[in-house]
Amino acid sequence: ISEFFTLWMLVHDFPLDDQAEDDITWKHVNDGIYSAATAYKALFLGLTLSPMDRMVWKAWTPPKVKFFAWLALQDRIWTADRLE
């Protein structure tokens, strides 16, 4: 409750301009307009794919083999040495 009181004291004294209009801006695009497409693209910001990732998913192998290869690239295979 003390955290709430501290927050209330900070917000309570903040001056507001009654004449200013509220505005919501989507920061992930230049025009500031939200869309489902820009939200989907924002999910992948900063994501880097290696050429090996593409090669694994484009290979002519069963999906379970692709998944196993992808796990191996991510160092996520639970081998005996990792289970100890």
Residue 48 lies in a domain: yes
State the average pLDDT for the chain: 86
* Position 75 pLDDT exceeds 90: no
Number of domains in the chain: 1
Residue 62 lies in a domain: yes
* Position 18 pLDDT exceeds 80: yes
* Position 81 pLDDT exceeds 90: no
**pLDDT tens readout for residues 31-72:** 999 999 999 988 888 777 788 888 998 999 999 999 999 998
pTM: 0.44
Residue 84 lies in a domain: no
SS (H, E, C) 10-75: HHHCCCCCCCCCCCCCCCCCCCCCCCHHHHHHHCCCCCCCCHHHHHHHHCCCCHHHHHHHHHHHCC
Residue 5 lies in a domain: no
Q: Which domain holds residue 42?
A: 19-79
